[in-house]
Every structure is written in structure tokens, then in C-alpha cells.
Amino acid sequence: MRFIPHTKEDIDEMLAAVGANDLEDLVAHVPAELRRRAALNLPPGMSEAEVAAQLTDLADRNRGARGYISFLGSGCYRHYVPAAVRAVIARAEFATSYTPYQPEASQGTTQTIFEFQTLIAQLTGLPVANAGMYDGASAAAEAVLMAHRLLPKRHRVVLARALWPDYRATIRTYLSAQPALEVVELPFDGEKGTCDEAALMELADEQLLCAVIGYPNAFGMIEPLERIARIAHAAGGLAISVTAEALAMGLLRAAGALGADIAVGEAQSFGLAPQFGGPWAGFFATRQEFVRQMPGRLVGMTRDAEGRRAFCLTLATREQHIRRERATSNICTNHSLCALAAAVYLTLMGRQGLRELAARNLELAHEAAAMLAANGLRPRFNAPFFNEFTLALPNLRSALSTAQARAILAGVPLAPDYPELADCVVLAVTELNSPGEFSLLCEALKQ
Amino acid sequence: MTYDIQRQVALIFEESVAGRRGVDLAGGERSLRHARELLGEALCREDIDGFPEVSEPQVLRHFLRLSQLNFSQALQFYPLGSCTMKYNPVLDDELAALPGFAALHPHTPAELAQGALELMARLEAALAEISGMDAVSLHPAAGAQGELAGLLIVRAWFAKRGAARRKVIIPDTAHGTNPASCSLAGFEPVVVRSNARGFLETDEVRRLLSDDVAAMMVTNPNTEGIFEPEIVAIAQAVHEHGALLYLDGANLNALLGVAKPGDMGADLAHINLHKTFSTPHGGGGPGAGPLAVKRHLEPFLPNPRLRPSASGGLEIDPDRPDSIGRLRAFHGNFAILARAYAYILAMGADGCALASRIAILNANYVRKRLVRYHSASPEPSMHECVMTHDLERKADVSTLDIAKRLLDFGIHPPTIYFPLTVPGALMIEPTESENRETLDRFIAAMEQVYDEALQQPALAKNAPHHLPVRRVDEVEAARHPSLRWQAPTPPTGS
């Protein structure tokens, strides 16, 4: 077996050294009834070429990965990934290291995490960010749990209905073992496609723990985050902003500047391919005074014995390996390499590039929306949007299948998650789409 | 504070010069002006304060130089106990990046994503076979999320039967994630002590069992590297009380073709693909923590699940009535799943069985040859051995000092101070990937560290000496947390 270096001689000599006759001797103390049934009914091992052929065949059967014009978004966005991102994360020094528990042997990993934390703090406009979470949805759930630690006497969690269904479902699962918490869905305004602020006012009393708001939301609309945060704060609760299309942060006002107490989201747009849903990286930023209630890892700057700058994991007393059942989260392995990809991406984009790319996305999405409107397909909602918007189509199902037959994936339908929007589809437009594609889209959907 | 330009790397923010850029974009400045008009200034940010401005070659040099400051499995011996730092086949990274996988959007209609769904179904079947369980969910992002899913299933199981239970029994040798997951799932962890030989006794477990115990979590082999000899009797006792047995699969690398968790009596088990199934650890992830269950718990598995479609293929079943729900967006860490599947294909039944046996041989060889240290337990070791030493008493040299000194030999130290039941523990997991010469070098280094520590304790106490930085002050880091770079001059607007 090519991954196992031992020759027959190695095995014999090592067995002799440990006083065993054969390899089975080494497991002879495992109850015989278990060993008898342990044989694996798997095919024999394969050569590298055979493995490559098998997986290539499976990859080729994913016809939707290539050759389609795509307007799919809704939590995963198609963006160009610069080659430099792949070149860095392919480095075995990053890819095959473990969590940096020995800082002297992990200055590469710890410093890049420190840089990631800084980049996320700068983008969200909040003072501190952690080393990353699994994804945007679980980060949102952890944000609600953190809010509960900060305000343990309050128990109403307000989830915007215009938050992605996967995110809402994830939050509900994480809260399912917290019977004290009550989850209330905040309706959206049927015209604007953003939160119903009057409804939030009603819910914002001394029981309000937090309001969880998509920024932009699941319909692509830009929520009035500042007003929402003000309502939450007036009731003594917290505002949590959740961003699935992180590129929007390059153009929109920072969540922290608008009053969000916790800003979380999905960093997939920053250099991570769709890869059928993961792995990507969640981000998590908050106010300085909340840092000891944060979930996940944190890297801090310190010095070594000779006074040089150095980085290490810190405030670990929040974490499961120290605090066990009293930890702020059970998270251990996170998505560090994905956070590194995001750090490389953001560094490469830089202060000007990220804003320009975000602007390009917005510009193209508005061009597409305008062309659709000119063809009689008006956006369903009228709030401002970034690079995603919602269309209502009277004959949605047949329009989408017509488009698919013409090799166009014309967006993600909102049914069955939003029965009230059963005729609606959300389209995402990124820099990978072109105006030529918009005319084909219009023609297909007009049918 | 200074940094050593030869051995360290400036922060990217310090390398930034106004006006430099790392990408050229189609719309450029013109798009920016246009977009601000379209959206209105009130919604737009002015700037991104402090964001770096660097060229592409600078970005590469920065990160590649940083990479060189790391130890990694590919470049160093990395016998980190309980982490299974085995070889990660480079082919698997290449295959996961095939455009047919990498560019596949998770909302792609199922009929256009049959290859990915088929891969997931085949991986589920292989993991069910390996673990001896009936159904597998590939949904959890990591081992700890697998634990959470499992414990929420335990909760749902009892809720469905109208008999809520509050407690979960956890051994004193368990990973910290076990009690943390219990709290998150609303259970109260109850600790069962291992005996002096490092394993669980059925009578001790029985003493803690009651009608209020929902489950017991067991890591087998446990974190002392010992196969729990009474596991079958323990499972029986747990079941007699109507409770469920959760098997933490962190140490599954010892069990391939040796013993299946399902046969031990486990009702649930999670599997760390980034350990036994060889996906790279990535400096702390991403991994994947599939959850395997017996038939009676299948309805509770997280959403979504795969199901056969009308056209004879597979599709996603988004919502099942008894499911505990989702723990994340979309279907799972697919690119990790693809790597694990490629690994299982390469290994096959024989390769898997051989891997566990060689991992066990390597651990026992190290244990036997380390004469200056002694095993925490007299029981035979499985894939890892836990060693202790008398240097603390003899020379005031701690386990941490030993670990730091090993770094000077170009070896990543074992896991230290864990399990908590073994004072000053060194938990060594060589894995099957390492050849005998590497093990011999490690053994020689460990013995040399010991001898030196007696003669010149300062050598260990001040170690490391030959790494990019000397001993890092972790106390200072926690006392005055500095968690982000700050511009030397005050920022302007945002």
C-alpha cells in the first residue's frame, strides 16, 4: 500500500521489538466477538490512476457545474478566484498543519489568522473578530447563543423571515435545547422586501434578546439596519447582522457603523469555490466588551522570550478544551484553511479592488434588472439591492425549465420555504455574468 | 516590539502603500462611481479603513514566507495524539478541485448534480460499513458538530417517547468537546472515572446509571490509547437503563477491520474524516464529522438527506418530520467528503485493515523503545500511547519544556497534558504513515531531551532555540489581548 512505508522486514523487526508474533497479536486483547465481525465489505484498494478515473467520472456527471449560464445565488455566490489564493492554500505548510497549539511552530498560521481577524474587523466596522466559524449559518446560531450569555434574563429571539431559510433552520436547531428561548419570526414588508419595522417595534420590549437580520437579506434587499438596530437597542436588546454575500461589505456601510452588536456571515465569496456547499468559512465580529463571551478561536499578538513580536491562540479559557461543559461553544476544528483563503483574497483585492469589485457586481445586477423590467419582468420588491434581486413570474416552473433547456440556471425559487412567494425566484448577478447573458435570460423568461 | 526580518514577516498592513493594487478589474474606478450613484451615497461606505494596498507579487511573497514558519505533517513528524496526522494524499486535493466538483453550486438542480449526490451516497455506504452502523449523515462540519447532532438526536428520541432525561455520562478521559456538546444540547454531563489502569469498569458505569441518564459517550480506544475492554458489557448496562450509547469516533484509526462501533453496541457514532480518512487539517480545519446511527435513530438525522428521485437518480430531501433540523447551510463539507471518498477507494478493505494495524504497531514500538519515559497504563496500546516522565521531580523540567525542546529537533511535539487523568501526559500518535527511521529518530530525540534535561535543565526550560521565535509569552497574550492590528495613526471615517 503506497501510503504505508513498512516493508515486510520492517514489520517483522518491529513486531519482534514489541514482543508480538504477528500483526493480529497486537489486537488480540480486543474482544474476539468484535474482531470476528470486523472484516470490511469494501472493494480492494485502487491505484492512483483508478481513483482519479472514478472521481473524474463522478465530477463529469455534474453537468450543472459547466456549460450553463448561471444566476444561482441565495447563500452561495459565483466569483472569480484569483490563482494566488489557490497557490497559497495549496501550500502543504498551511494545508497539513494542525490547530496552532504550539505557537513557536505555527507563526505562519497564527499570523495569518491575526490578519484575517483584522480584515474582518475592518470590513464589519467592529473592533474584534474571531478566527472563523464553520459557515455563515452556524455563525449566526452561535451569535444568538452569545447574545443569550450576555443577556441571560431575556428570551425573545426575533428572526427576520427574510433571513435565508437554511440560516433560520440552523438557528432553530441550535436553540432547540434552550427551552427558555422563544423564537419569533419577524415578517417582511410585502412591497419593500425588507423587515416590517412596525412589527419589530411591537416585539421590542424588555423580553427582546436580539433581532437577527440579513444584510442584504434572502431576497437580495438591503435592510435598514441602522433603524433596526436602534429599535433593538431602545428595548435593551442586541442587533445581529448576518451577511451571506460578503462581497456586499465592500460597498455597503459597515454593519458595526450602523449599530450591529454582532456581525456574522459567510466568507465564501472571498476566494472559495461553490464546491457544492462547502467547506467555506463563517466570520464573527463583535464589540470589544463582549470578547470574553465570543465562541471560537482567537489569536493575539504577544512577544517571545527575546522581545520579538509573536502570535498565539489566546483567551482559550472560553474554549471547550479548557472550560469543558462551561465553554462558550463546543467548536474545536473550525475552517481555518478557508479563513486563510479569505485573508489572501481580501489582501489581493485590497482597499480599492474590493470596493470596485463590489461596485461592478451591483452595476451588473442593476443592468440585468433593468433589462428584465424593460421586458415586462419587474422586480418583486422595491427596496435597494446589491447583486441579488427577486422576480415574480406568473408561470415560474415552466419559465425556469424553459431557461434550463436553454442552458440557463435562472435563479433559486423561493418555494417551498416561502409559500407566499411561490411565484418568485431570486437571481444573483456577479462579475462572472455578462450583459450578453442578460438578453438570453430575458428571452427565456419571457416565454 | 520588534520583528526579525530574517526570520519573521511583517504584517500585511505594514507592507501596504497607498495606490498599490493586487488585482485589475474590468469596471474599475468607473464602476465604483456608477454604483454609488445607483445605490445612493447614504447606503455606501466611504472607505475600508486600514485595508491593505499591495501588489500581487507582494501578496504571494508575504503568505509563502509565512508558510515557511509553520511545522506541518508534510514536512515534519507530527505525532500529535488524538489528531491522527497521517499522510494526506495530494491526489485527493487535486480531485476535490476538479471543475465538476469545485464549480458546482449547491442550488444546482439535482438532475444536473448526480455525480456529487452519487459520491455522497457511496461515501455514506462506505462509512456505514466501516462503522457497523445503519445510516450516515454527512452534514456535520466537524467532529464537535457531529457530537451536537448526535446529542440533539438523543434529546429528540426521548422527547418523542415523552420521557425527557437530563444526564449524559462522560468518562474523565473524554475530549473537552464531549461535555461542551452536552451543555449545548441541554444535558448535564456526569463524569465517570476510569480505573488506575486507564479504562472504564462496568460497575462504575452502573453506579451512575439511572432513569435520568439519556446517554453515555465513550471514546474507544480512549484517550489513553486503550481499547475499552468492557465496552460490550457497558453498552449492555446502558441499554438496560433505556439509555443510548454514543461512540466518539475520534480514535477510529485504531479500529478499521479490528472492531466496529456498531458491534460494540453504539447507537450513534461520529467519524472525523480529517483524522482516520486523511483529509488535511488545514491549520485547524476544515474537516467533516459525519454522524452514523442505528436504524431506530435514522428518522432524527439532520436535514437534508439523500433520497431516490423519480427518474432513478438521487435528490435532496430537505425536510423530514422527525429530523433535528439543520446545523449549517447546504449539504455538508462536500470537498472534504470527496477527498475522504477518494482515500477510501485507494485504501480498500485491505488497506484500511493494514493502516490500523501498522498505526498500532508504530505506537507500541515507540512505547517500547522510549525507555526513559513510562507508559501511563500497563494495558496494551492501540494507535497511540500516553507516556509520563519524572523530569518535573528530578530537574524541574515540565512536559511543556520537553515539548518545546522537541521543536529544536524538527519534530512537532505530541499532545501534552491530555488526557487530564495522566499528570504531565505526552500523548503520542505516530500514525501508519511514518516509517521506522522516523520513529527511531523521534525516539532518539526524546531520549536525548531527557538526558540533557537532567544535565542542563536550562536547555529545555528556554527552548525552543532554533525556531523563528523563542518561547512565546502566552500569559501576556491573555492578560493584554491584542486581537487585531491597529493603524499607528487614528483612522478617518468609515
What residues of chain B lie within 8 A of the CB of A357, using their CB? Answer: 23, 25
Q: Chain B neighbours among A 174-233 (CB < 8 Å)?
A: 174, 176-179, 222
pLDDT of residue A328: 87
The strand pairing partners of A257, in sequence order, are: none
What residues of chain B lie within 8 A of the CB of A277, using their CB? Answer: 106, 329-334
Q: Is residue A435 within 8 Å of A390, Cβ to Cβ?
A: no
Contact A253 B45 (CB under 8 A): yes
Q: Is B114 exposed, middle or buried (0-12, 13-18, 19+ CB in 10 A)?
A: buried
HSE-up of B42 (CA within 13 Å, CB side)? 6
Does A34 contact B at CB distance below 8 Å? yes
Contact B109 A404 (CB under 8 A): yes
Contact A122 B50 (CB under 8 A): yes
Radius of gyration of chain B (CA): 26
Terminal CA-to-CA distance of chain B, rounded, Å?
Answer: 28
Among the listed residues B467, B22, B269, the one whose alpha carbon sits nearest the alpha carbon of residue A350 = B22
Query: What is the rounded CA–CA span in Å between residue B57 and residue B316?
Result: 43
Q: Chain A neighbours among B 205-224 (CB < 8 Å)?
A: none
What CATH topology corresponds to A83-345? Aspartate Aminotransferase; domain 2 (3.40.640)
pLDDT of residue B492: 59
Contact B282 A95 (CB under 8 A): yes
Does A49 contact B at CB distance below 8 Å? no
Q: Which three cell numbers stand for residue B405?
A: 525542546
Q: What is the pTM (predicted TM-score) of this model?
A: 0.98
Residuewise pLDDT in 10s, chain A (447 residues):
999 999 999 999 999 999 999 999 999 999 999 999 999 999 999 999 999 999 999 999 999 999 999 999 999 999 999 999 999 999 999 999 999 999 999 999 999 999 999 999 999 999 999 999 999 999 999 999 999 999 999 999 999 999 999 999 999 999 999 999 999 999 999 999 999 999 999 999 999 999 999 999 999 999 999 999 999 999 999 999 999 999 999 999 999 999 999 999 999 999 999 999 999 999 999 999 999 999 999 999 999 999 999 999 999 988 888 888 888 888 888 899 999 999 999 999 999 999 999 999 999 999 999 999 999 999 999 999 999 999 999 999 999 999 999 999 999 999 999 999 999 999 999 999 999 999 999 999 987
Spacing of C-alpha A36 from chain mean position: 44
Q: Chain A neighbours among B 371-400 (CB < 8 Å)?
A: 379-380, 382
Percent of chain B whose pLDDT exceeds 70: 99
Does A99 contact B at CB distance below 8 Å? yes
Does A122 contact B at CB distance below 8 Å? yes
Domain boundaries, chain B: 12-67, 90-345, 351-479
Query: What is the rounded CA–CA span in Å between residue B264 and residue B357?
Result: 19
Query: What is the rounded CA–CA span in Å between residue A361 and residue A363?
Result: 5
Task: Answer whether CATH 3.40.50.10860 is correct for domain B351-479.
Answer: no
Helix (H) or strand (E) holding B249: strand B244-249
Contact B476 A360 (CB under 8 A): no
Contact A102 B413 (CB under 8 A): yes
Which residue in the block uniquely carries the three cell numbers 448526480?
A: B114
What CATH topology corresponds to A66-80+350-446? Aspartate Aminotransferase, domain 1 (3.90.1150)
Query: What is the rounded CA–CA span in Å between residue A232 and residue A241?
Result: 12
Does A334 contact B at CB distance below 8 Å? yes
Residue count of chain B: 494
Q: Quick check: B153 pLDDT over 70?
A: yes
pLDDT of residue B319: 81
Indicate the SS3 state at residue B410.
coil
What residues of chain A lie within 8 A of the CB of B368, using their CB? Answer: 17-19
Domains B90-345 and B351-479 fall in the same CATH topology: no
Query: What is the rounded CA–CA span in Å between residue A89 and residue A271?
Result: 10
Query: What is the rounded CA–CA span in Å between residue A118 and residue A140?
Result: 20
pLDDT of residue A318: 87
Does B311 contact A at CB distance below 8 Å? no
Q: Which three cell numbers stand for residue A170?
A: 440552523
Q: Is residue B225 within 8 Å of B385, Cβ to Cβ?
A: yes
Angle between helices A48-60 and B114-131 (to 10 degrees): 130
Q: Is residue A344 within 8 Å of A89, Cβ to Cβ?
A: yes
CA-nearest residue to B304 within chain A is A166
For residue B490, name the pLDDT band (cuts at 50, 70, 90).
low
Does A278 contact B at CB distance below 8 Å? yes
Query: What is the rounded CA–CA span in Å between residue B408 and residue B58?
Result: 30
Q: Is residue A262 within 8 Å of A140, Cβ to Cβ?
A: no
Query: What is the rounded CA–CA span in Å between residue A193 and residue A217?
Result: 9
Does B164 contact A at CB distance below 8 Å? no
Query: What is the rounded CA–CA span in Å between residue B7 and residue B127?
Result: 44
Which residue in the block uniquely carries the three cell numbers 437580495?
A: A220
Q: Quick check: B493 pLDDT over 60?
A: no
For residue B488, name the pLDDT band (cuts at 50, 70, 90).
confident
Q: Is A16 exposed, middle or buried (0-12, 13-18, 19+ CB in 10 A)?
A: exposed
- Distances B101 to A279, A343, B287, B313 between C-alpha atoms, Å: 12, 23, 17, 18
Does B310 contact A at CB distance below 8 Å? no
Q: Quick check: B491 pLDDT over 80?
A: no
Name the pairing type of β-strands B268-271 and B244-249: parallel
Architecture of the domain delimited by B90-345 = 3-Layer(aba) Sandwich (3.40)
pLDDT of residue B347: 98
Contact A95 B100 (CB under 8 A): no
Contact A164 B329 (CB under 8 A): yes
Domain boundaries, chain A: 66-80+350-446, 83-345
CA-nearest residue to A4 within chain B is B433
Across B448-454, average pLDDT = 98
In chain B, what's the furthest Cα-to-Cα distance? Answer: 75
Q: Which three cell numbers stand for residue A234?
A: 431602545
What are the φ/ψ torsions at residue A4 (nearest 5 degrees)?
A: -115, 120
Terminal CA-to-CA distance of chain A, rounded, Å?
Answer: 58
Does A153 contact B at CB distance below 8 Å? no
Q: Is B57 exposed, middle or buried (0-12, 13-18, 19+ CB in 10 A)?
A: exposed
Contact B87 A3 (CB under 8 A): yes
- Across B110-187, where does the E strand assignment appear? 135-137, 167-171
Contact B129 A166 (CB under 8 A): no
Helix (H) or strand (E) holding A238: strand A238-243
pLDDT digits (tens, 9 = 90+) for B341-360: 999 999 999 999 999 999 99
pLDDT digits (tens, 9 = 90+) for B156-182: 999 999 999 999 999 999 999 999 999
Q: Between B36, B257, B282, which is nearest A337 by CB?
A: B282
pLDDT digits (tens, 9 = 90+) for B206-256: 999 999 999 999 999 999 999 999 999 999 999 999 999 999 999 999 999
Contact A61 B325 (CB under 8 A): no
What residues of chain B lie within 8 A of the CB of A241, using their CB? Answer: none
- Distances B461 to A308, B452, B472 between C-alpha atoms, Å: 18, 11, 12
The strand pairing partners of A156, in sequence order, are: A182, A208
Does A312 contact B at CB distance below 8 Å? yes
Query: How far apart are the CA of B298 and the nearest CA of chain A, in angstroms?
Result: 17
ipTM metric: 0.98
**Average model confidence (pLDDT) across chain B:** 96
Q: Between A122, A128, A353, which is nearest B21 by CB?
A: A353
Q: Chain A neighbours among B 17-76 (CB < 8 Å)?
A: 20-23, 25-29, 31-32, 34-36, 38-40, 43-45, 47-54, 56, 59-60, 62-64, 66-76
- Distances B150 to A140, A417, B329 between C-alpha atoms, Å: 21, 26, 18
Query: What is the rounded CA–CA span in Å between residue A233 and residue B436?
Result: 63
Other C-beta atoms lying within 10 Å of the C-beta of residue A436: 9
CA-nearest residue to A79 within chain B is B103
Query: How far apart are the CA of A285 and the nearest CA of chain B, in angstroms?
Result: 11
pLDDT of residue B2: 76
Spacing of C-alpha A197 from chain mean position: 27
SS3 letters across A79-91: CCCCHHHHHHHCC
Q: Is residue B127 within 8 Å of B271, Cβ to Cβ?
A: yes
Q: Is B112 exposed, middle or buried (0-12, 13-18, 19+ CB in 10 A)?
A: buried
Classify residue B302 by its DSSP letter.
P
SS3 letters across A193-230: CCECHHHHHHHCCCCEEEEEEECCCCCCECCCHHHHHH
Contact A65 B104 (CB under 8 A): yes
